[in-house]
Amino acid sequence: MNTGAKPAQPAELDDHQETALWPQVRAGSTAAREAMFERHAAFARHIAARHYRDRTRGDLELAELRQLAYAGLLESIDRFDPDRGVPFRGYASRRITGSVLDGISHASEVREQVASRSRLRAERLRSLAPETVDRMGSTDALQALAELATGLAIGFLLDGGLAADEDTADRAPSAYEGMAWKETVQGLRDALADLPEREELIIRQHYLHGVAFDLIAQLLGLSKGRISQLHRDAIGRLRRRLGSRPEFVLQR
């Protein structure tokens, strides 16, 4: 269900257009809120990166600090009052920084949770895994596991295809070389553009910016379970679209 007219692309917004968006954000427009989040997501990541560089201990990953920064950004968007005449980034900077520092202060010396990237992939696995595989016949179970494997492969492709320009140190420089890889990634992006708007938003935020499902749920005003379901539906659509393409092979 649409919650308002789709605003201009965030990267194209100027200050005047952003000012015009705030009444839509206050009125509950999901599209306007998401546009505001995307416009300032790089700003939040910059704050996270600054704190990451300043740390002498390696108990937190940059991806984890980004999640804290995104949470602070969402809180800032929800609480910002443009009528006070304060620039949004000046207002948001304090909250984003506070969110990052609070998260750091609560981090334990001995990490009991898995790394942030692993948690994101675990979310995807839970989203895609069949819930009744133990009650299926062998043929149905094999089909379900094959679909799961293909869905996870698409997840790896999305990690690379959408975030190819992100500054990620753990990605091999040669991962995007070769015509087959480039054609596969382009096919993936074409298929992504055909997704329903909300599914496309979830895929883009989760794989491009690494936003966890619970924060996407907060962004869209939905439950985390509903985000997981929409993610599964989106991966299913991508799988069916890409399955007919001869160049769809896992290059990693």
Please write the tens of the pLDDT for every residue from 158-216: 876 665 545 444 444 454 456 777 777 788 888 888 899 999 999 888 888 889 899 99
pLDDT at 125: 74
68 versus 107: the higher-pLDDT residue is 68
pLDDT digits (tens, 9 = 90+) for 18-52: 888 999 999 999 899 999 999 999 999 999 999 99
Q: How would you label 9-22 residue by residue, b for 16+ Cβ within 10 Å and e otherwise?
A: ebeebeeeebeebb
How far is Cα 28 from Cα 221, in angstroms, rounded to an integer?
10
At the topology level, CATH places domain 10-105 in Rna Polymerase Sigma Factor; Chain: A (1.10.1740)
CB 45, CB 69: distance < 8 Å: yes
Domain boundaries, the chain: 10-105, 116-243
Share of the chain above pLDDT 90, in %: 35
Q: What is the pTM of this model?
A: 0.66
Tokens at 192, concatenated: 């992504």
Task: Look at residue 71 and tell me whether its pLDDT is greater than 80.
Answer: yes
CB 203 within 8 A of CB 234: yes
Per-residue pLDDT of 123-159, as tens digits, reads: 777 777 665 545 555 555 555 555 666 667 787 778 7
pLDDT at residue 229, rounded to an integer: 92
Tell me, yes or no, if the two domains 10-105 and 116-243 fold the same way.
Answer: no
User: At the top level of CATH, which class does the domain 116-243 belong to?
Assistant: mainly alpha
User: pLDDT-based confidence at 75, cuts 50/70/90?
Assistant: very high
pLDDT at 220 over 50: yes
36 or 251, greater pLDDT:
36
